[in-house]
Structure 1
């Protein structure tokens, strides 16, 4: 049971990191398009 919990925890951490990364890339792309527009 502890093993399953730790695996689920690891998966959650990876998902959270990838989501944060995607948000970061998205905001960078938005800022870049703002710069090229002006």
Structure 2
């Protein structure tokens, strides 16, 4: 089985109040439904 994963359109990171870093990435069409994993 071959699976194609494209690079994310945008990435970022936010520092939380307790010092941890929350990273995120965005894929898919701009008008698509948001999905959080």
| TMscore range, shorter length | under 0.3
Give the TM-score, by structure 2 length: 0.18
Instruction: Answer with 1 or 2: which has the greater Rg.
Output: 1
Q: Return the TM-score normalized by structure 1.
A: 0.18
Structure with more relative contact order (C-alpha pairs < 8 Å, separation 6 or more): 2
Structure with greater proportional helix content: 1
